[in-house]
Structure 1
């Protein structure tokens, strides 16, 4: 987990999440469109659940298994995570 999640910017969170998506899709980060729906770029339900675990491990709070469907793009997820982090979750 980062030392101080309170100071994370939305850009840092977006970069981290983009890296995770790119890792699971086995493609460069530059090929992950932050406004494309994750399911449309190839992220299946197994990887979506795995990313939930990554979020919990990295940021230190639990997320619902449906979080990637509730926030279906990289940008949407970054906004959600930033809101949760700054709210002191």
Structure 2
């Protein structure tokens, strides 16, 4: 079962050498639950697995995602959120949980 959690992260937690800060208009803002649900849905569709098989705390490589798959997911995220992120996004945030936190906070950091 996929569990949606409330996440909290300070702006200092987002500071990395290669992180982009993105500006999002109010209509682009997504909740943590929406982002996590989208990521789970994407993986279940691409990998042809049941959503119950997704553990948001496991690294993406546990789902046999190679570098091409990671780039594909990064591109889909950028398209969905209409924002640009570093190409190393999935390496910097290697789990659905970590990526969800980062994306939710990145989108709300500048308004």
Q: Where on the TM-score scale, by shorter chain, does this alignment land: which range?
A: 0.7 to 0.9
Deviation at 1:29, TM superposition (A): 1.8
Distance 2:61 2:102 in 1: 18
Question: In the comparison of the two structures, how many residue pairs are matched?
Answer: 86
Deviation at 1:88, TM superposition (A): 3.4
TM-score by length of 1: 0.87
Counterpart of 2:80 (choices 45, 53, 58) is 58
* Structure 2, unaligned runs of 5 or more: 1-25
Bigger Rg over Cα: 2
Greater relative CO (CA pairs within 8 A, separation 6+): 2
The farther-off stretch of 72-81 and 21-30 is 21-30
4+ aligned runs moved over 3 Å, structure 1: none
Matched, 1:68 2:90: yes
Q: Which one has a larger percent helix, Structure 1 or Structure 2?
A: 1
